[in-house]
Every structure is written in structure tokens, then in C-alpha cells.
Amino acid sequence: MTLLLGLTGSIGMGKSTTAAMFADFGVDVWDADAAVHQMYAKDGVAVALIAEIAPSAVIHGAVSRPELKTLITQDPTLLGQIEKIVHPLVAQDRADFIEGSQTDILLFDIPLLYETGADQWLDYVVCVDVDAETQKSRILGRRTMTEKQLTVILNKQMPNDEKCARADFVIPTNSLDEARAAVHYVVETLRGT
């Protein structure tokens, strides 16, 4: 039997790094953000649909995520319109991943896991966690987002402490060693060894 494991946590909490650690333990990983990146790329399945509601976000045949962030900051209602386009496309990509996978545990890296109701079809949920100061430092250190944009995103997401309270497992990401040990524990627990 294949177990479906969700990975969530607010922006800047270390989801991508943690997902890579699961892959190191033989878990197939599906990344919602990576799926969206493919859809937004030149000739991606979402480009023409996004162009209909936010034409200035399409540059050289691809959706510009920085431009989308700017537009969402200016008009927060745009996010809901984008989600109505992207969520069904993401669901199909995820279904294709499940059908093509052969491992005993499948990990689904879904930042908005609870917000989109994905916990309803998953067997277990893991939430990554780090303190708010470290989170903010990581995000603003990337220099791809302003503090105002970060506030808009955080206000749209469920607070991370609530996500952790609802999760079956919590992985602290203060250090790589701590996170790796927690990932190992989760994988071994799920495999029953």
C-alpha cells in the first residue's frame, strides 16, 4: 500500500529543503510550486488563461511571477481568480504523478495544504516549523519579495502554529541536522521499522 504524505508550512519554513531530505530516504516527491512553475513557463498550460485576467503578467510568452506578486499586492482579489485557474491544473498534474509513481510513500509538498483541503485525501501530514524571526530573515534575504508582499502572503495563509497543531508530525528546521533527524524518524515510523 502506498502512503500519501503531505508536507506543508508557511513560506520560508524550509519545505523545499525538507522535501529533498525525504527524497534522500527513497520517497517520491511532488512539488506544487514546481508544477505551477512548469504551467507558467513559456507555452505552459496556464499562460493563456492567466493572460485573460492579468495580461501584463505575461512577458515573452511566460507568466512572470514577480509581476503577478505586484499585481496581487495592488489587487488582492486577483489571487482568487488565479487560484480558480491554477488549482484544477495542479490537481491533474498531481493525479498524473500518483499514477506514475512506484514508491511506498509519496510526499506532496503543498504550501496551502490545509487552505485547499488537501488534508482530506492525504493519509498523514507533516508541517515544517521555525520561529517567525528566522522565517522573515530567510524570505527577505532572498531579495525576491518586499516586506509588504510578505505580509499579504502571510495574511492569506493559515498561521503556521495552527498548521503544526493539525499535523501528524512537526519537523523543526532550525538546522539541517535537526530536520534530517526528524525526517528520518517520520519515514521510519511510516514504514514501521
pLDDT of residue 4: 97
Question: Which residues in the chain show pLDDT less than 70?
Answer: 193
pTM over 0.75: yes
**Any residues with CB less than 8 A from the CB of 125 and at least 6 apart, and which?**
5, 6, 7, 8, 113, 119, 166, 167, 168, 169
Q: What residue has cell string 501530514?
A: 125
**Any residues with CB less than 8 A from the CB of 122 and at least 6 apart, and which?**
4, 5, 6, 108, 113
pLDDT of residue 169: 98
Q: What residue has cell string 538546522?
A: 175
pLDDT of residue 81: 95
What is the rounded distance in angstroms from the CA atom of residue 127 to the CA atom of residue 129?
Answer: 6
Q: What pairs with residue 53 in β-bridges?
A: none
Segment holding 52, helix H or strand E: helix 47-53
Domains and CATH numbers, the chain: 3-27+103-191 (3.40.50.300)
pLDDT of residue 193: 62
